[in-house]
Structure 1
Amino acid sequence: MDSGGINKVLGELQATAQAAASKPATSVEQTEGPSFGDALQNALAEVSAAQKDAQQMAKSFSAGDPNVNLQDVMVNLQKANLSFQQMTQVRNKLVSAYQDIMNMQV
């Protein structure tokens, strides 16, 4: 997945929120803990890692590795698929929220 596009959307959302609040960018207070963008990037990395692990396990099974059984391969592939679908839904919600903000009258 391309995290550059997500960062662009997040940047535009932040700029729009700042413009709507009529506050300069320097007056935004930082809270403790990871930012939303950092959390989103971590989630993307986890989804990517789950997909890579599932693909590697499937390749090992295909190669005849006796330590890998079909049930584990199928479970890991389904976990990777579900995490990808969840991330896609998060992306869709972000795009929808961005479009709603852009359609607001100020």
Structure 2
Amino acid sequence: MKVNGLQAEMQAMRLDAQNSSSPATAQQVSADFGNLLSDALKTVNHLQGQSSELATRFDQGDRSVSLSDVMIARNKSSVAFEATVQVRNKMVQAYKELMNMPV
């Protein structure tokens, strides 16, 4: 998962928010968050596909792919997937807390 790219994008969004003369609307924030989440899911999907492809090539006897390459790719995709699951869990928890708030 491209953590540095994600962090740089979040910092750029923060600077835009600070330098903006008008406050961001809920629709803008929702669209930005949706795009950020979509990009993160695409990255996780790409890592899983890459891991699967390397494993298949190794199984088929491709000598340009080593076992360590396969294991590293598999661990990267596993960490990315676990991070995605944790983000989902936090979002569900936040949603439940919002729903339980008295109005």
The TM-score normalised by the length of structure 1 is: 0.69
Match of 1:103 among 74, 96, 100: 100
Aligned residues: 78
The verdict on how the C-alpha distance between 1:28 and 1:50 changes in structure 2, with shifts beyond 3 A counting, is closer
Question: 1:102–1:50: structure 2 CA closer, same or farther, 3 Å change rule?
Answer: same
Instruction: Return 5+ residue gaps in structure 2 as ranges.
Output: 1-24
Q: Which has the higher helix share?
A: 2
Equivalent residues in 2 for 1:13-52, closer than 5 Å: 28=26, 30=28, 35-52=32-49
Considering Cα pairs closer than 8 Å and 6+ residues apart, tell me whether 1 or 2 has the greater RCO: 1
TM-score (norm 2): 0.71
What is the CA RMSD across the aligned residues, in angstroms?
A: 1.6
1:35/1:65 CA distance change after superposition, 3 Å: same
Q: 1:69 aligns with which of 56, 66, 70?
A: 66
Per-residue CA shift, 1:3-62, capped at 9, x if unaligned? xxxxxxxxxxxxxxxxxxxxxxxx74636xx61011001100000000000000000000
Using the aligned pairs only, state the percent identity. 40
Letter in structure 1 aligned against 2:90: K
